[in-house]
Structure 1
Amino acid sequence: MLQISYIREQKETVKERLILKNFKEPELVDEVIRLDELRRRTQSQLDNVQAQANNMAKSIGELVKTGQRDEMEKARHTSVLLKEDARQLAEELAEYEQKLEDALVQLPNLPHDSVPRGNTAEDNEVMLSQGSKPSLPAGALPHWELAAKYDIIDFELGTKITGAGFPVYKGNGAKLQRALINFFLDEAGKAGYREVQPPVLVNEQSGFGTGQLPDKEGQMYHITGDNLYLVPTAEVPITNFYRDTILSEEELPAKNTAYTPCFRREAGSYGAHVRGLNRLHQFDKVEIVQVVHPDNSYKVLESMCVYVQSLLEKLELPYRVLKLCGGDLGFASALTYDLEVFSAAQDRWLEVSSVSNFETFQANRLKLRFRPRDGGKPQLVHTLNGSALALPRIVAALLENNQTPEGIRMPAALVPYTGFEVLR
């Protein structure tokens, strides 16, 4: 959530940055400022009336002591009127505060100055391309056909049990999933991230804190009986570890990693680009999350991006890094790098990670601050997260890029985890 003081002081800048993000209601900024003025004016009036009421209460006490009955009755009558005024003003203040919050939560985060202009993914800026696209043997298959050939992923069985987008992993397919999860967690541990195992159900406050609610209700699975949501990413529970918390500066950066299954309702379109593992309702992912000092967040963002690149290099996958344009940037993000791997049999790039800096946007919602070493006033932290990595498209690329007449070759870094060099 944007800070109201910044909106008030930098109204035109806020509007300009929101236009870059293709936000369609810049007039909402004016409404936020109007509601904030009403809120502050009402608060001032309430404070004044309450001060008068307090003074009147003291006066009544003095009048009682001196026996001035007539003056005392007048003072009591005035006190009743002041209390009624205070009650009405308190109700108005609560109404303005609620309307202000309802308006504020509709404003997305402002894009960083380096975010390129653009409307769609086609306008994203390619920052880096690494590795050579593999040459496949004649008759090479896409991963959904390889999955059937080697009997490692059963899409039809998943559809029978649950529905489309919920595959069943079998045999070496299940082992490959487990191998990747353990590999990613071990690598994150080496990079200084604390491994945690959070719940995969979260409440409304948690969804609000990281910006999923009220923006993405339609993409999240909702357990109506308990008003809980299945996590779309481990970012949600991990970041909410620190909700309503004041950290010491010495506790920064706070670095956590977790594996969770992730659940998203967004899949549902048709065509080769969403076949097989390309888009699922349930998938496995290892997430990295950092809570950092505001002065360091963009250095941290770059280091997180480099870390994800190192995983792709160890998996021997050709990849590229994109800086998202304003129109493709997420609601809560100030700057995002997407990392994509090349899928040889499909001849297309597949997104496998997003690494984002949210600056103070999530922290403001979470009321997450740190106390400076010099003992000054607590300040909002910056929060960042990244996929490290999401499994489905990694598996798709591993299967397609490494297929040989003898079977599917595993990258050397994974062999200690899979227990086999070639999936036959």
Structure 2
Amino acid sequence: MNARPLTALFALALAACAPLTPQRPAEKPAEKRYTATELLALQPAGLAWPAASADGERALREAALADIRARIALSPGAERDAALPKLFDLVAQYNAEIAAARPLLLEALPTLGPREPEFQRAVLTAAHTLYAADAAPLIWPLLPQLTASKPFAIAAYTLLQADAGYGERLRVLVPQQFPGWADDPRLAALMHRLQPSAAVPPPLPELLAAPLRPGFPVIVSLQRPGRQQMGLALVRGADGRFVREASGQLFTSPQLALARTGLPGTITNGNTPQGLFTLVGAGTASNPNIGPTPYLHSKLPVEATPAEFEHADTAPADWSLATYNSFLPASWRGWAPFQEAWLAGRAGRDELIVHGTTINPAYYAGTSYFPGTPQQGCMISAETWDAASGRLLASGQLALAQAYAAAGARQDLAGYLIVVELPGQGAVTPAEALALVTAAGR
């Protein structure tokens, strides 16, 4: 295989779920956008991705491992500091050299106080992703030096992951260090996490039956709390009925809404936030971890304008929680966990799309979510690629996108996406989904 294309692919491989990666800011990204008719005409055999072949994947992995080792070998100093964010991204993606990279993380943590917030974010994210237990003793004394809310929140979540006993101390510290925490979406989400609650979730069938905006199709992604298990995506047609297979069985498609970081949805590169998104079409990504299968373009509140979210020119000019809640049944409007998407949009999260994957699931063998391949906050469906040619053999993403396109009867593919957590253990099952749809009368 020609080395140049693989090198270019590797250079892009650490992009987040951003579907587009223009080479220069002045360039208009060359991206194929799809109508419903075009999307429905696609066949797996017509899609291929060289880096998904065995040779292509091996070349990317070998390049990544060489890069990891080169970064680890750098001497302490500015060059190594600059290399750390990408180093830890690679370590997490390839599940490689975790022990060898640990000392660099532990050495960097005590130095974070005077560093730029973005560097703090990257290092603390690595601590949460890979080394929470080892990092926690170094993070607690660092907290007073973290004056930006994003690094502080990541540090707090890392402490909670290491030991839930930090919760009470954090509940006292946040208002002391950030008196205006309630106006910061990241800190508001953190404080909600820190408040004990015995509240019972509203009835999920009521959400599944809610019209949102009549005449638009809806994807419903049922996920477990913590996202450590595979979820299921369902499709509700423009007529309000959930899509069935030709056999009469409910259409369900496994989907992972877990990010590699495991951070909450209000944090950069965190899990897909729970809540309501709008869908504004489909396109082909340039991100090599996503591959050529068309993604569905989902947008959060604030990322999408109110008019774009409403799919109507008569929407309010400015966003508000009331506008977000207007889509929901009354029983769900006060349920704070379902407002995570609203907070995530306010926090600046974007480009959390519904897509496939070219990442080898073997990297995550033995995990509770295998064969899922977490990335950086998107909703991901499994795909199978031919080892010899890189041609697509089977695609949960294409099946989901086509079920949505057929159910919507709209060439522009406009609609909605619900991501909602379903209590329970293990992967979400079709039987659970069917029971909910039946209770919703849909």
TM-score under structure 2 length normalisation: 0.25
The structure in which a higher percent of residues are strand is: 1
Higher relative contact order (CA 8 A, sep 6+): 2
